[in-house]
Amino acid sequence: MTQSQTPPTVVSGPETPWRIGVDVGGTFTDLVLADSRGKTWVAKVPSVPSDPSQGVLAAVQRIAVDLGLPKSEVLSQCSLFVHGSTIATNTMLEGKAASVGLITTEGFRDTIEIRRGLRSDQWNHRAPYAPVLVPRYLRRSIPGRIDADGSEHQPLDTSSVSKILSDFENQQVETVAIALMNSFVDDRHEQQLAQVVKEQWTNEWVTCSAEVSPLMGEYERSSTAVVNAALSPRIV
């Protein structure tokens, strides 16, 4: 008596349109392709820390080879392409972020260092604060003030910007963060200052706090702007 055998399962290729997700890690870049039926295909390639995009492209090429399709078709039939990475976290933890120069409202130069006066262990007065994101010699302030209701209390004075940027260049600053008081209500002063900086700054990286975190809270908004500024040259 012959034993019946189950015929081998024939695995068909993905059905269009499909979606692609990529995770760029420090060691490997992983890609998952999910087709219209929910079936998935995966690929793993080494990451390229010096240029993460190369790892992404290599992962797309690998999945294309595995599926027997041209890379152009893999991309053209993709309805959604998303990617994430640990690059930003690793850059900050490893101390490899870009050098930032911070310009803020006169009288608020030390907001980012004072924080909110809180410690991670509030009862331990010997506990050190976390390192300051921007050292004091790279923090500058200029006159001008927007009130909490969005009205202009004092016109912005940009006469010192040229000197500030010259000092930044001498200190090898790579990117500028702008965080002015109450810009979450009205960011006209930040935009005005950013325009002046872009006209005179030799580097392309300028971050305005109201663009990345238009929320009340001077310390939080300033910190977010500084982190964005510090990461931009390393990631974009």
Domain count, the chain: 2
Q: Tell me the three-class secondary structure of 157-218, residue by residue.
A: CCCCHHHHHHHHHHCCCCEEEEECCCCCCCCHHHHHHHHHHHHHCCCCCEEEHHHHCCCCCH
Residues 137 and 153 in one domain: yes
Task: Evaluate whether residue 24 is within a structural domain.
Answer: yes
Helix (H, G, I), strand (E, B) or coil at 74: helix
Phi, psi of 230, rounded to the nearest 5 degrees? -70, -30
> What's the pLDDT score for residue 208?
96
**What pLDDT is stored for residue 1 in this prediction?**
47
| Burial environment of residue 51 by CB neighbours within 10 A (0 to 12, 13 to 18, 19 or more) | exposed
Examine residue 13 and state whether it is found in any structural domain, yes or no.
no
- Same domain as 215, residue 101: yes
In a domain, 183, yes or no: yes
Would the CA dihedral through 87, 93, 94, 98 be positive or negative? Answer: positive
Per-residue tokens: 235: 């990631």
Regarding whether 163 and 219 lie in a shared domain, the answer is: yes
Shared domain check, 184 and 115: yes
* Tokens of residue 236, six digits: 């974009």
Q: Is 93 exposed, middle or buried (0-12, 13-18, 19+ CB in 10 A)?
A: exposed
Q: Are residues 71 and 99 in the same domain?
A: no
Instruction: Check whether residue 174 and residue 191 sit in a common domain.
Output: yes
Residue-number span of the structural domain to which 192 is assigned: 93-119+133-235
pLDDT in tens, 158-174: 999 999 999 999 999 99
| pLDDT recorded at residue 43 | 95
Is 175 in the same domain as 225?
Answer: yes
Buried b (16+ CB within 10 A) or exposed e, 185-221: ebbebbbbbbebbeeebebebbbbbbbbbeeeebbeb
Is 108 inside a domain boundary?
yes
CATH number at residue 159: 3.40.50
Look up the CATH number of the domain holding residue 24. Answer: 3.30.420.40
List, for the chain, all residue ranges whose pLDDT scores fall below the cut of 50.
1, 8-10
Q: Does residue 52 lie in a domain region? A: yes
Same-domain status, 53 and 102: no
* Same domain as 151, residue 103: yes
Distance CA 71, CA 62 (A): 9
Q: Is the dihedral of CA 139, 156, 174, 216 positive or negative?
A: positive
Residue 7 lies in a domain: no
In a domain, 125, yes or no: no
Residues 80 and 190 both lie in one domain: no
109 and 70 belong to one structural domain: no
Question: Is residue 48 located within the same domain as residue 155?
Answer: no
